[in-house]
Amino acid sequence: MSRALSNPDRVSEGTRARVFAAVEETGYTLNQAGRSLRQRTSRTILVALPDIGNTFFSTILDAIEREAVLRGYGVLVANRFAGHDSGRRLHEYFLSNRADGLLLLDGSVQLEQLLALTSPPIGVPLVMACEAIAQSPFHTVKTDNVFAAEVATRHLIGLGHRAIGHIRGPKGNVLSIEREAGFARAMATAGLDVRASWMFEAGFEMSQGLAAAERFVALAERPTAMFAANDETAIGFLSGLRRHGLECPRDISLVGFDDLAFAAHFWPPLTSMRQPREALGRIAAEALIDLIEGEPRRRVPRHTVLSSELIVRASTARLATAPSAPALASL
């Protein structure tokens, strides 16, 4: 019976038909637990992410899930992943044979914990997506954040801005580091200074963008344009500026990153670097499943880099020729 189901295997047409008929009639369904036990395979992948609640990740998860289902895999999610016990949690999932591979969207897991998982004794197939470490020994799928950030910054420079600041992502995060590097490179290339007082610490959350705005308005001398590490902080930042009567793009031009669905409908519509999130999720899932089903671990890590696209909207404008001091008009 098992033979007939591994389709055109080695059974005669007659028996195959009989088996399928019996399956139809009795409503037989394969018991995954039995198969898993025997084949030491679960046909399930584990997706570990920092925050499902965040649209950015949930869109990617959407694409991952779609691809996985297409290839007959289930998707287990592990949210809020990083933490002191992430190593133990990973261990449990894989040693216990619950998942065949790990798709990691969280760059802040300790490298050594990952190595412990992927090397011989355990040998879990692993693909890092989005927040992939650069020269990583694993398969990675990501966008070229450095270049994208450079493009975003050049866009501001191209509009005539010279005084440009940056809202950083979370400290230590790979994406933050790369985006800041791209920003710095564009500034350097254009011969512009990066002023320390125009670099704002934030995270990737709206509330942190809001807080950055408070520090921004307190500045004696303000930049005329800002590049935010992601759309959420950009949106929080603008929301904060408005409370002080500053308007975008009149008083400041702003570029975000990610091009969330909300960015287009925000006021003003947000200029942003669009990340190919669907492609990212799909390709990562493909890569992981290929890895799971492929030759046992003799494949060299492949690094896929996708490119982002600058979507220009109304939040960025040409610098007024006579730069007026931002008026503190009240609402």
Partner DNA sequence: GAGGAAAATGCAATCGATTACATGCGGCCA
Partner DNA sequence: TGGCCGCATGTAATCGATTGCATTTTCCTC
Tell me which DSSP letter residue 319 carries. P
Among 189, 262, 297, 309, binds a copy of itself (CB under 8 A): 262
**Residue choice 10, 84, 265, 298 for contact with DNA (CB under 7 A):** 10
- In the set 7, 25, 27, 40, which binds DNA (CB under 7 A)? 40
The region, left, alpha or beta by phi > 0 then psi within -120 to 50, assigned to residue 43 is: left
Stretch that binds DNA, among 2-10, 101-109, 266-274, 305-313 (CB under 7 A): 2-10
Range list of H helices, the chain: 2-5, 13-26, 32-39, 55-70, 86-95, 111-118, 145-158, 174-189, 206-217, 231-243, 277-293
Bridge pairing between strands 271-274 and 309-311? antiparallel
Binding mask 104-143 for a copy of itself (x = CB under 8 A): ----------------------------------------
Residues 30-69 that bind a copy of itself (CB under 8 A): 30-34, 36-37, 40, 42, 44, 51-55, 57-59, 61-62, 65-66, 69
In the complex with a copy of itself, the residue whose CB is nearer, 44 or 316, is: 44
Shorter beta-carbon distance to DNA: residue 96 or 321 = 96
Contact 33, 251 (CB under 8 A): no
Helix (H, G, I), strand (E, B) or coil at 154: helix
Quote the least distance from Cβ 20 to DNA, whole Å: 13
Q: Does 74 bind a copy of itself (CB under 8 A)?
A: yes
For the chain, first and last CA: distance in Å?
75
- Give the count of residues interacting with a copy of itself (CB under 8 A): 53
Q: Kindly state whether residue 70 participates in binding a copy of itself, applying the rule CB under 8 A.
A: no
Q: How far apart are CA 299 and CA 44, in angstroms?
A: 21
Residues 6+ apart with CB under 8 A from 295: none
Region from 38-46, 52-60, 109-117, 176-184 binding DNA, contact rule CB under 7 A: 38-46
Q: How many residues bind DNA (CB under 7 A)?
A: 21
State residue 76 phi and psi, 5-degree precision. Answer: -95, 135
Cβ(80)–Cβ(50) below 8 Å: yes
**One-character DSSP codes across 109-142:** S-HHHHHHHHSTTT---EEEESS--TT-SSEEEE
Tokens of 287: 């890569």
Reply yes or no: is the peptide bond before residue 137 cis, omega within 30 of 0: no
Q: Is 298 in the site for DNA (CB under 7 A)?
A: no
Stretch that binds DNA, among 36-44, 66-74, 237-245, 297-305 (CB under 7 A): 36-44
Give yes or no for residue 84 binding a copy of itself (CB under 8 A).
no
| Contact assessment for residue 123 and residue 299, using Cβ atoms and an 8 Å cutoff | no
User: Is 270 one of the binding residues for a copy of itself (CB under 8 A)?
Assistant: no
For binding to DNA (CB under 7 A), which residues are involved? 1-3, 5-6, 10-12, 14-15, 28-31, 33-35, 37-40
For binding to a copy of itself (CB under 8 A), which residues are involved? 27, 29-34, 36-37, 40, 42, 44, 51-55, 57-59, 61-62, 65-66, 69, 74-80, 91-93, 95-98, 206, 210, 235-236, 238-239, 242, 261-262, 264-267, 269
